[in-house]
C-alpha cells in the first residue's frame, strides 16, 4: 500500500486519499484487525474513474488479491473533518437506493480504554440492525484512527440505527461528556455502482 501511495495521490483529479486497514468492527481494539484485507478511499472526478480503475496501482493490487469490492459513491451529507480537511463535496440531496456510511474518528489517546469499553453494545446493535447489508471496521492505524464503513438498504434503515438505537444514542451523549474524539467525521453516500462483494 505504501509503495503505491504516490501513484494514487498524484493520479489526475485525485483530491483526497486514504489507505485503510480493516477489521471486524466489533471492538475497535488491535485484536479486531484483519491483515489480509485493506481498503482505499479516493475522491476523484467521475470522468477519470475508468482510467483510475485500470491504473498501474489498482492492476497490481488485483494481481495479488483473492477478491475485490469497489463502490462508486456520491456524497449526500458530511459532517466533521478528516485530517483537518472537508473531503466530500455534496453532490446528491436525496437518494432512494442503497446508502453507504463512513464514520471516522481520531480518538484522544487518554480516552482509548473508555472508548473501547463503550463500543461492544453499539457494534452489536449495528450488526443486529434491520436494513444493514454489510459493515466493517476501517482505520489508518490499529489504535486511535478508527471508523466504520457500512452499507444499508436505504436511508431510513441507517437513520433508525443512528438516531433511535439506544446504544448508539448513549454513545452520542457520552461523546460530549467524555470528549473521546480529537477529530470526527460522519458521511452518507448514494451507492451508485458496485462490483464484487464486501466480505
In this prediction, residue 172 carries a pLDDT of 63
Q: Is the pLDDT of residue 181 over 90?
A: no
Task: Identify the CATH class of 5-193.
Answer: alpha beta
pLDDT in tens, 81-133: 999 999 999 977 778 899 999 999 887 776 666 666 666 566 777 777 889 99
pLDDT in tens, 137-157: 898 876 667 888 999 999 999
> What three-state secondary structure class fits 169?
helix
In this prediction, residue 13 carries a pLDDT of 96
Neighbour-count burial for 98-120, b at 16+ CB within 10 Å, e otherwise: bbbbbbbbbbbeebbeebeebbe
pLDDT in tens, 183-195: 889 999 999 999 9
Q: What is the rounded distance in angstroms from the CA atom of residue 102 to the CA atom of residue 39?
A: 13
Question: How would residue 3 be classed by pLDDT, with cut points 50, 70 and 90?
Answer: confident
In this prediction, residue 106 carries a pLDDT of 83
Question: How would residue 63 be classed by pLDDT, with cut points 50, 70 and 90?
Answer: very high
In this prediction, residue 176 carries a pLDDT of 61
pLDDT in tens, 12-33: 999 999 999 888 766 566 677 8
Q: What is the rounded distance in angstroms from the CA atom of residue 81 to the CA atom of residue 88?
A: 10
Query: Residues 55, 60, 38, 83: is their CA dihedral positive or negative?
Result: negative
In this prediction, residue 88 carries a pLDDT of 95
The enclosing H or E element of 22 equals: strand 16-23
In this prediction, residue 141 carries a pLDDT of 77
In this prediction, residue 102 carries a pLDDT of 95
Amino acid at each position: 500500500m505504501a509503495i503505491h501511495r504516490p501513484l494514487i495521490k498524484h493520479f489526475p483529479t485525485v483530491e483526497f486519499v486514504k489507505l485503510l486497514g480493516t477489521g471486524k468492527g466489533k471492538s475497535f481494539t488491535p485484536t479486531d484487525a484483519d491483515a489480509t484485507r485493506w481498503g482505499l478511499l479516493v475522491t476523484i472526478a467521475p470522468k477519470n474513474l475508468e482510467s483510475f480503475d485500470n491504473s498501474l496501482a489498482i492492476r497490481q493490487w488485483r494481481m495479488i488479491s483473492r477478491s475485490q469490492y469497489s463502490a462508486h459513491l456520491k456524497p449526500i451529507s458530511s459532517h466533521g473533518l478528516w485530517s483537518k480537511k472537508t473531503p466530500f463535496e455534496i453532490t446528491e440531496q436525496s437518494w432512494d437506493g442503497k446508502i453507504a456510511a463512513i464514520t471516522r474518528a481520531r480518538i484522544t489517546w487518554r480516552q482509548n480504554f473508555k472508548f473501547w469499553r463503550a463500543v461492544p453494545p453499539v457494534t452489536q446493535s449495528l450488526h443486529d440492525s434491520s436494513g444493514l447489508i454489510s459493515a466493517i471496521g476501517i482505520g489508518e492505524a490499529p489504535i486511535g484512527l478508527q471508523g466504520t464503513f457500512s452499507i444499508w438498504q436505504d436511508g431510513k434503515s441507517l437513520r433508525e440505527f443512528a438516531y433511535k438505537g439506544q446504544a448508539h444514542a448513549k454513545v452520542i451523549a457520552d461523546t460530549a461528556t467524555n470528549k473521546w474524539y480529537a477529530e470526527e467525521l460522519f458521511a452518507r453516500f448514494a451507492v451508485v455502482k458496485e462490483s464484487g462483494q464486501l466480505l
